[in-house]
Amino acid sequence: MTTRERLDRDTVVTHAIALADREGLDAVTIRGLAADLGVTAMALYWHFKNKDELLDGVTEHLLSTVDTPADDVDWPDGLHAVVTAIVTALRPHAALAPLVQHRILASEPGLAIVERSLGLLARGGFTAEEAAELSGYLLNAAVTLITAEPGSDGGADPERRDAAARAKRATLLTLEPTRYPHVIAAADPLTFCANGDAYYARGVDLLVAGVRGLRP
């Protein structure tokens, strides 16, 4: 069996995602992925002509795992469900989450998510222009929730991530107590996310509440 027959597009994308989860987005190159798979770079060029096409494929795969809500829900509940679904799909792959910000309109799964979001906002009374702005804001904010999660500063490697969080906490604890008493008191939650589910639930609630507050 040849390398081309052994490797299909889905296998390449799955390995690319796993590589990013372990080593970060910068590790996802044609040559880096080929080395990780134990094949030549040429074997991957059958499926992706360059790195951009590979990242498009990765983004499409991630977005295909986003479950959009049913049509019969109220628009705020539907919007909440869409944002929650995006966070749920991207949260395990924090290094890849920023890809969707500029690639969501480049695939069928991404277009379906945007169409659903715009439809829900239209039902809420927003114009097409307002809905486009708000849906982009919600997507970017959902990605930021993931990339800005306390304790995630060190990248994909757990040891590096934990070391960076400990160093950040130590720095905060050395601040002048009379000037920064609240920062010092919050040193732990500012550097480590003790309850990820609660962190994301509050974040999504805040985003959707902000949109509801802007309802025409």
Give the start-to-end residue ranges of the domains of the chain. 3-49, 63-149+194-213, 158-191
Q: pTM of the prediction?
A: 0.90
**CA atoms of 111 and 103, how far apart (whole Å):** 10
Burial track 104-132 (b if 16+ CB lie within 10 A, e otherwise): beebebbeebbebbbebbeebebeeebbe
Domain 3-49 has CATH 3.40.50: no
pLDDT, one tens digit per residue, over 104-127 is: 999 999 999 999 999 999 999 999
pLDDT in tens, the chain (216 residues): 344 446 889 999 999 999 999 999 999 999 999 999 999 999 998 899 999 999 999 999 999 999 988 778 899 999 999 999 999 999 999 999 999 999 999 999 999 999 999 999 999 999 999 999 999 999 999 999 999 999 886 556 778 888 888 999 999 999 999 999 999 999 999 999 989 999 999 999 999 999 999 998
**Alpha carbon 160 to chain centroid distance?**
20
Q: Phi/psi at 94 (nearest 5 deg)?
A: -60, -35
Question: What span, in angstroms and rounded, lies between the C-alpha atoms of 107 and 109?
Answer: 6
